[in-house]
Chain A
């Protein structure tokens, strides 16, 4: 999703100067100049799997929804069910178009004040999402605010994440959080949201606060020796954990049902896109997202064709790596639904050669979330 923009047109996060000082390899991503790696991707990936690493994710978007009909409104644009979901909890889901394609995938935070919600969206989609949300909020008694520019965010991820936020940052209550819950506190006079969430398949926290506070948190974590990690390993980590990336595994053309994320869509309520998704769920869809493993070190990359033994093209790779944690070449691919069953033999064309593989579960790596 990198874009060919002039550097001058690219946004910088509040941690940009820190990345440059650390001599990170920088690249445009979602309209921001972002760190791809500080060390090698393998070193950063393993730090998160084995100890702890941290990511600047300040590019992500924060949209607040408040008002008497905030819950009713969010439940209308969001595929997952937020009724009965308590303050302090976080829920993953999507916003869909009426045709079932995805506007964005996001986290919804139910705040402690009644009828207050925080929607955390992908950086590349902030403007599109906010326009979508504003447009659909018109018939509801609620206000929406895009506060993305004034929030920074750091993700601290890995088996030592809890120890790190408690001991280095003094966030003692973080130890009591269950997965997908959060609490509010203050940092340098501004709100700090401590959320036990992440995008790596490991336990971890996402810390949302002011721009100044984010820089201060970052400096303290660096001083404590926490490995800074770039977008390079963010992608290898989320991929191994079976997590989709908007633009690759979810898009206006790839619905949650096609992506195998139907469990995040709840049909005993109304929401935008419900009819189309129900229709797809009933079998009216062409392709499904699968995992494929090949028995070779060659690497399936996005865009490579997936074939049957006779060379018939039945799909395309969306993300692929030689998995760092599993030492296997694996990928996500969008394939004809007739080829989507586990263990179906499929072939991937990698340059001039074709490699045999089979359909496997998309969660390649056994995740280690806090219960």
Chain B
């Protein structure tokens, strides 16, 4: 069973969003990190880059494959988790604790299109 946290929003491509003071904190789910296996590299955008809902903003790399990261919301990147540059395996250790980027949202209503914890649980079939 993968860990799922109540109160977060989830995308079909297995990113989670937590809103803190109007900023969207974005990471990948526990289900996603398990599917990927050992994560060896996190490709992240730069601060001030624009991201768009439904579009790729980076990638997770395991030994075997690269998997695109899809932004659940649109806006401007205000912070990236630099700890992941040297220790990408933090995502395997705790995918919810180790967020990837923080985004200043341009349209908070985009959050309404995302799933809640119960819907995501059904989405991954657990």
Question: Which residues of A come within 8 Å of B, CB atoms?
Answer: 36-37, 40-42, 45, 232, 236, 297-299, 301, 321-322, 324, 350-351, 353
| Chain B residue at smallest Cβ distance from A350 | B43
Separation of A322 and B60 alpha carbons in the complex (Å): 13
Could you say which residues of chain B place their CB within 8 Å of the CB of A321? 63
* Given A40-B38, A41-B37, A351-B56, A236-B43 contact (CB < 8 Å): no
Contact with A along B13-33 (1 / 0, CB 8 A): 000000000000000000000
Residues of B within 8 A of A (CB): 37-38, 40-41, 43, 56, 58-59, 61-66, 85, 88
Tell me which of B56, B59, B64, B85 has the highest count of chain A C-beta atoms within 10 A of its own C-beta: B64
Q: How far does the Cβ of A58 sit from chain B's closest Cβ, in whole Å?
A: 22
Q: How far is the CB of A28 from chain B (nearest CB, A)?
A: 15
Determine how close the nearest CB of chain A comes to the CB of B122; give it in whole angstroms.
Answer: 24
Considering the chains assembled together, what is the distance between the CA atoms of A324 and B61 in angstroms?
13
In the complex, 13 of the A-B residue pairs with CB atoms within 8 angstroms, ordered by the A residue number, are A41-B37, A41-B38, A41-B64, A45-B63, A232-B64, A297-B88, A298-B43, A298-B61, A299-B40, A322-B61, A322-B63, A324-B63, A351-B66
Taking chain A's interface residues, is the majority helix, strand, or loop, or is none over half, making it mixed?
Answer: mixed
Closest Cβ of chain A to B104, distance in Å, is 21
Residues of A within 8 A of B85 (CB): 297
A299 touches B41 (CB 8 A): yes
- CB neighbours of B59 from chain A (8 A): 351
Q: Are B63 and A236 touching (Cβ within 8 A)?
A: yes
With known contacts A232-B63, A299-B66, A324-B63, A351–B38 Cβ distance under 8 A: no
Residue of B nearest to A40 (CB): B38
Q: How far is the CB of A48 from chain B (nearest CB, A)?
A: 14
Residues of B within 8 A of A299 (CB): 40-41, 61, 66
Q: Determine the chain B residues whose CB is within 8 A of the CB of A37 once the complex forms.
A: 37
